[in-house]
Amino acid sequence: MQDNKTRQMESENISRYVPLAALFAALGLIFPVFFHLVGLGSTFLPMFLPILMGSLLLPLKLALSISIVTPLLSFLFTGMPPLYPPILPVMVTELALIGAIGSFLFFHKKAPLWLTLVTAVLADRIVLFVFVFWLAPLFGLPEKAFSIAAVLHGIPGIVLIFTVIPMTFRFLKDKYPQVFRQTFTERKEPANGN
């Protein structure tokens, strides 16, 4: 009886975040379209920004859901990220990883934003390096050089993540704390506010 009640409460708690999850999934579909129009999609990681930001505000199940579903929907609607070369499965893995880390550390464990972002981005870059190192020989490419190039190619996107997400969170915290009550007002902030 207690397990059923707990599950029902969990389900109700998650369901109130569904509109927010849908918003970030939609942004994850829209942002890449604009960036790809000017040929900057792979450089600025436009799908990573809304997915990582959303994962910081969502429970783990929803963060993982948008992380996995968004690139798959993008592929179905736009053909990007492509299935060959196998960018789609690599991106699904990367986004699931940053989504899980973002939600677990920031939403659930209330870790500082900077620590969450550094951990998520560092883990993503390591996974990308390993994937590219493993896949490069299949396409006749030098593993080490191509892996390093793939990791460094996303630096502008990483700068964007470390600039836009903290600025956006500061704005939301100041202007709309009631909308993000779970994330901001119930969080125990350090005395210096960092």
Give domain limits for the chain: 2-184
- Mean residue pLDDT of the chain comes to 89
The mean pLDDT value for 58-84 works out to 96
Query: Burial, 4: exposed, middle or buried (Cβ in 10 Å; 0-12, 13-18, 19+)?
Result: exposed
CB-CB contact of 123 with 97 (8 Å) = yes
| Cα 81 to Cα 111: distance, rounded to the nearest angstrom | 31
The mean pLDDT value for 88-104 works out to 98
The mean pLDDT value for 34-50 works out to 90
Higher-confidence position of 16 and 72: 72
**Rounded percentage of the chain residues whose pLDDT exceeds 70:** 86
pTM: 0.86
- The helix/strand/coil state of 89 is helix
Tell me which fold the domain 2-184 belongs to.
Arp2/3 complex 21 kDa subunit ARPC3 (1.10.1760)
Residue 63: its pLDDT value, please? 98
| pLDDT (tens digit per residue) in 107-161 | 999 999 999 999 999 999 999 999 999 999 999 999 999 999 999 999 999 999 9
Question: Contacts for 123-127 with beta carbons within 8 Å, 24 or more apart?
Answer: 123/97, 123/98, 124/48, 124/94, 124/97, 124/98, 125/151, 125/154, 125/158, 127/93, 127/94, 127/97
The mean pLDDT value for 90-97 works out to 98
Give yes or no for residue 180 having a pLDDT over 90. no
Using CA atoms, how far residue 33 sits from 47, 85, 136, in Å, is 10, 19, 27
Rounded (5°) CA angle 14-174-16: 10
Residue 18: its pLDDT value, please? 95
Residue 78: its pLDDT value, please? 94
